[in-house]
Amino acid sequence: MEQNLDVDEIWRALKPWGRYQIRQLSFMWVAILLTALHLLVVVFNGYTPQFQCAEISPTNHNSSINSTYDVTYDECSVTISYNQSNSSHTTTSCLNGYKYNAHDDISSFVTEWGLVCGESIKVDISQFLMILGQGVGGFLFTGLSDKFGRKTVHISSHILLFVLCLVTVFIPSYIGFAILRFFAGMTVEGLLLSSVTLCVETLPMEWRFVAEVTGVVSWTTGIVMLTPLSYIMQTFSWRYLELLLALLSVYSLVEYWLFDESLRWLMANGRLGEAEKVVRKAAKMNKMSFDQVIGIVKAKMREMEALDKENGAILVASDSDAVIETYIPKNTEVKKYSMIDILRDRLILINSIVIWFVWVTNSLTYTGLNLITPTLYGNRFVNFFLLGAIEYLSALTEFLLINRIGRKKTLIILMGIAGASLLISTLISSLQGDNSALGYLATFFVLMGKYGITGAFSSVFLFTSELYPTNLRNSGYGFACAFASIGGVLAPFANTFHRYVAWGPGVVFSIMCFLSAIMTFYLPETRGRELPTSIEELKMWYKEHSGIQTSGTKQNKDFVEPKMN
Give the tens place of pLDDT for each residue, 18-27. 899 999 999 9
DSSP annotation of 254: G
- In contact, 503 and 376? CB cutoff 8 Å: no
Mean pLDDT of the chain: 79
Mean pLDDT of 452-464: 84
- In this prediction, residue 342 has a pLDDT band, given cuts at 50, 70 and 90, of low
pLDDT at residue 241 above 80?
Answer: yes
pLDDT at 7: 82
Q: Where are the domains of the chain?
A: 1-51+104-311, 66-99, 316-559
DSSP annotation of 375: G
Residue 130 neighbours by CB distance under 10 Å = 25
- In this prediction, residue 138 has a pLDDT band, given cuts at 50, 70 and 90, of confident
pLDDT at residue 167 above 90?
Answer: yes
pLDDT at 496: 78
Rounded CA gap, 18 and 286, in Å?
6
The gap from C-alpha 389 to its chain's centroid, in whole angstroms, comes to: 15
Beta-carbon contacts of 141 under 8 Å, excluding residues fewer than 6 positions away, are 153, 157, 186, 189, 190, 193, 194
The four Cα atoms 107, 111, 117, 123 give a dihedral, to 10 degrees, of -70
Phi, psi of 374, rounded to the nearest 5 degrees: -60, -15
Per-residue pLDDT tens over the stretch 320-329: 343 434 444 4
Rounded CA gap, 412 and 523, in Å?
11
| Terminal Cα-to-Cα distance of the chain (whole angstroms) | 27
Report the number of secondary-structure helices (H) and strands (E) in the chain. 22, 8
Tell me which range, 61-75, 313-327, 385-399, is most confidently predicted by mean pLDDT: 385-399
pLDDT at 79: 72
DSSP annotation of 259: S
Give the residue among 416, 440, 432, 377 at the shortest CA–CA distance from 510.
Answer: 416
- In this prediction, residue 16 has a pLDDT band, given cuts at 50, 70 and 90, of confident
SS3 81: strand
pLDDT at residue 395 above 90?
Answer: no
Half-sphere exposure (CA, 13 Å, Cβ side) for 224? 12
pLDDT at residue 2 above 60?
Answer: yes
Rounded CA gap, 119 and 114, in Å?
7
Q: Which residues of 222-259 are buried (b: 16+ CB within 10 A; e: fewer)?
A: bbbbbbebbbebbeebbbebbbbbbebbeebeebeeeb
- In this prediction, residue 65 has a pLDDT band, given cuts at 50, 70 and 90, of very low
pLDDT at 131: 86
Q: Compare 311 and 280 and report the one with higher pLDDT.
A: 280
The rounded radius of gyration (Å) of the Cα atoms in the chain is 27
Same fold, 1-51+104-311 and 316-559: yes
To 5 degrees, how large is the angle CA 48–CA 54–CA 60?
155
pLDDT at residue 550 above 50?
Answer: no
Rounded CA gap, 118 and 302, in Å?
70
SS3 64: coil
- In contact, 462 and 209? CB cutoff 8 Å: yes
Judged by average pLDDT, the poorest of 15-24, 225-234, 400-409 is: 400-409
SS3 478: helix
Give the residue among 549, 488, 558 at the shortest CA–CA distance from 521.
Answer: 549
Mean pLDDT of 343-371: 84
Give the residue among 303, 330, 302, 304 at the shortest CA–CA distance from 315.
Answer: 304
pLDDT at residue 106 above 60?
Answer: yes
Rounded CA gap, 376 and 446, in Å?
9
Q: Where are the alpha helices (H) located in 202-252, listed in sequence order?
A: 208-232, 238-247
pLDDT at 189: 87
- In contact, 337 and 471? CB cutoff 8 Å: yes
Rounded CA gap, 172 and 245, in Å?
19
- In this prediction, residue 472 has a pLDDT band, given cuts at 50, 70 and 90, of low
pLDDT at residue 474 above 60?
Answer: no
Judged by average pLDDT, the poorest of 78-92, 177-191, 316-330 is: 316-330
The verdict on domain 1-51+104-311 having CATH code 1.20.1250.20 is: yes
Q: Compare 128 and 53 and report the one with higher pLDDT.
A: 128
Rounded CA gap, 36 and 322, in Å?
29
Integer angstrom CA distances of residue 482 from 355, 363, 462: 12, 11, 16
Rounded CA gap, 18 and 261, in Å?
17
- In this prediction, residue 398 has a pLDDT band, given cuts at 50, 70 and 90, of confident
Region at 49 (left for phi over 0; alpha for psi -120 to 50; beta for the rest)? beta
Rounded CA gap, 132 and 128, in Å?
6
* Fold (topology level) of 316-559: Growth Hormone; Chain: A; (1.20.1250)
Rounded CA gap, 353 and 349, in Å?
6
The gap from C-alpha 260 to its chain's centroid, in whole angstroms, comes to: 25
pLDDT at 324: 38
pLDDT at 522: 82
Give the residue among 378, 364, 380, 384 at the shortest CA–CA distance from 40.
Answer: 384
